[in-house]
Amino acid sequence: MKAICWYGAHDMRVENVPDPKILNPHDAIVKITLTAICGSDLHCYDGYIPGFEKGDIIGHEFMGEVVEVGKEVTKLKKGDRVVVPFPIACGKCFYCQKGLWSLCDNSNPNAAVAEMMYGYSAAGLYGYSHIYGGYAGGQAQYARVPFADVGPIKIPEELTDEQVLFLSDIFPTGYQAAESCDIQKGDIVAVWGCGPVGQFAIKSAYLLGAERVIAIDRIPERLNLAKEKGNADVINYEQADVVETLRAMTGGRGPDGCIDGVGLEAHGKTIDAMFDKVEQTLRMESDRPTALRQAIQACRKGGVLSIAGVYGGLIDKFNLGAAFAKGLIFRMGQTHVHNYLRPLLERIQHGEIDPSFIITHRMGLEEAPHGYEIFKNKQDNCIKVVLKP
Amino acid sequence: MEKVMTINRPPEDFAQFKQDFDDTYHIEVMMPTAPTGKTTPTQQIKNEWDAWHALKERLIACAGNVQFAQAPNGRGTEVRVSFPYSAPGGMVGSMLAKALDKSPEQWITEDLRHFKEMMEAGEIATIAGQPVGSK
């Protein structure tokens, strides 16, 4: 089959590889009908996620048709059309049973490595480095799906692939980020980053009852999308002092909830942003927390800081004092996608949201390296690339 | 040296394993040798007993022990394995362990993890045999 493989920073290749096989009794094989490049794949593309090996198949947003099931799979059968959540979860451990699916105890074959880095291992993920298990990803024609009775959700015929694909990650990720803000009547939510996750966080904050959502970015077409489709007020951080503007827009209180939809490769105009760039280049810190620092500074007293953007390692000059002084509540982590599949599918079915609004580019697998390039460099107004194998 | 993992199953599910360990422990004369470098290939571990045997044999080989205790408030069973800190086999053993890039501690941890995975999830997570691009 054809698959997109990682070969180093800015080196994604279309390779011919063997088809995946059933390896465990709860596995299924899915013939992929639609897959996407995620913003978090760009961290891999840029070489900031450790633990990749040459030839690894990347991608964790995918859906398709079940073509084979392992001998202990009972809920799925050949021919079922499914969306696959990006964290791999066993369904039986303490964490899965508490609904903390992305923290599954039993799905990471390289748990020992993750334990060395992070103390404990989280769930295995598709196509997201050997620290997260080294599973072959979904930017391919076929994928092996472990614990097939636990993760994949069957999709009704009347919905198109483009309407449901983002249930695999970014819609639930934006939704969980907003839900974590514990939105109360009258709340104003600020969202850093108007990429796909930011766009879904904006939509979700309104779905959950936010009074107003303010979105922060610098890319005109992303700010426009947040304004046009997301009904957000927007701040271009290259043209305004974000903290002061947010203060003015919230009656001096500050946003009640602050969502970091950016993660470890933040850009910025401030002095700390320049330091971050230098320190990351010199490997003095692995992550650039520019957006996170700003969100901490801007958040109202006792507010929630919800981190959806990915962080991988160490950050420098973290303004924990401000967070402490203001009594902020921190929520973060990989999304517990399984919790949201059913309720968000229902919202799509009821016409409350059509997630396909973020797609700007459609291409075949062969064009994926080009897709990465334009997505990374925000060329051609690129916001979201979907690939049809 | 101790390693402990909580397995999300009630203590009664471990009674037969405890019995099995006690039986073997008393029969086999304690002649601790360096744990062998052979990790049971995960493909060969098909069920809970296979996973248990792999752990048990490793523990017996290094004069280790295992205890099962109820975790608080129905949170499963704490499975605690203990074994001599230094690699039995002395300097040669520890050099061997280093050369193989795995210490007895790591082997035992893996065996314990496999046992947990089999007891909870009914399979051992693996990527061995999955497709990969040319290196």
The count of structural domains within chain A is 2
- Please check whether residues A37 and A162 belong to one and the same domain: yes
- Please check whether residues A102 and A150 belong to one and the same domain: yes
Contacts of B6 in chain A (CB under 8 A): 94
Q: Is A153 helix (H, G, I), strand (E, B) or coil?
A: strand
Structure token digits, residue A165: 């694909």
- Inter-chain Cβ pairs, chain A and chain B, closer than 8 A: 99
Q: What is the DSSP letter of A125?
A: E
Do B116 and A106 count as a contact with CB atoms less than 8 A apart?
yes
d(C-alpha B50, C-alpha B53), whole Å: 5
CB of A19 less than 8 A from some CB of B: yes
Dihedral sign (CA B73, A87, A179, A237): positive
Structure token digits, residue A313: 């390692």
Using CA coordinates, name the residue in chain A closest to B133: A55
Strand partners, A329: A304
Let me know: does A1 contact A141? Beta carbons within 8 Å: yes
- Please check whether residues A74 and A153 belong to one and the same domain: yes
- Please check whether residues A158 and A230 belong to one and the same domain: no
Q: For position B52, what pLDDT does the model report?
A: 97
d(C-alpha B69, C-alpha B77), whole Å: 6
Displacement of CA A313 from its chain's centroid (Å): 17
CB of B44 less than 8 A from some CB of A: no
- Please check whether residues A237 and A358 belong to one and the same domain: no
- Please check whether residues A234 and A317 belong to one and the same domain: yes
Contacts of A25 in chain B (CB under 8 A): 122-123
CB of B72 less than 8 A from some CB of A: no
Which residues, 6+ apart, have CB-to-CB distance to A367 below 8 Å? A387
d(C-alpha B83, C-alpha B104), whole Å: 9
Strand partners, A214: A190, A233
pLDDT band at residue B102 under the 50/70/90 scheme: low
CB of A144 less than 8 A from some CB of B: yes
Contacts of B116 in chain A (CB under 8 A): 105-106
Percentages of chain A per state (helix, strand, coil), in multiples of 5: 35, 20, 45
Considering only the beta carbons, identify the residue of A53, A55, A146 that sits closest to B134: A55
CB of B65 less than 8 A from some CB of A: no
d(C-alpha A93, C-alpha B76), whole Å: 10
Rg, chain A, Cα only: 20
Which residues, 6+ apart, have CB-to-CB distance to A249 below 8 Å? A188, A214, A233
- Please check whether residues A106 and A226 belong to one and the same domain: no
Window 99-138 of A: residues touching B by CB (8 A cutoff) are 105-109, 111-112, 124, 133-136
Do A13 and B117 count as a contact with CB atoms less than 8 A apart?
no
What does pLDDT average to over chain B?
Answer: 83
- Please check whether residues A54 and A39 belong to one and the same domain: yes
Q: Kindly give the confidence (pLDDT) of every residue in chain A, 389 residues in length, as a single tens digit, with 9 standing for 90 and above.
A: 999 999 999 999 999 999 999 999 999 999 999 999 999 999 999 998 889 999 999 999 999 999 999 999 999 999 999 999 999 999 999 999 999 999 999 999 999 999 999 999 999 999 999 999 999 999 999 999 999 999 999 999 999 999 999 999 999 999 999 999 999 999 999 999 999 999 999 999 999 999 999 999 999 999 999 999 999 999 999 999 999 999 999 999 999 999 999 988 888 888 888 878 888 887 777 788 899 999 999 999 999 999 999 998 888 889 999 999 999 999 999 999 999 999 999 999 999 999 999 999 999 999 999 999 999 999 999 999 999 99
Measure in Å the smallest separation between the Cα of A384 and chain B Cα atoms.
Answer: 25
ipTM associated with this complex:
0.92
Show the domain range for A256: 171-332
State pTM to two decimals. 0.93
> Domain-by-domain residue ranges, chain B?
2-29+46-121
- Please check whether residues A129 and A223 belong to one and the same domain: no
Termini Cα distance of chain B: 39
- Please check whether residues A107 and A52 belong to one and the same domain: yes
Q: A271-281 and A290-298 helices cross at what angle (nearest 10)?
A: 150
- Please check whether residues A345 and A286 belong to one and the same domain: no
Q: For position B94, what pLDDT does the model report?
A: 58
d(C-alpha A35, C-alpha B54), whole Å: 40
Which of A145-149, B32-36, B57-61 ranks highest by mean pLDDT? A145-149
Considering only the beta carbons, identify the residue of A13, A19, A92 that sits closest to B8: A92
The CATH number of whichever domain residue A79 belongs to comes to 3.90.180.10
- Please check whether residues A73 and A194 belong to one and the same domain: no
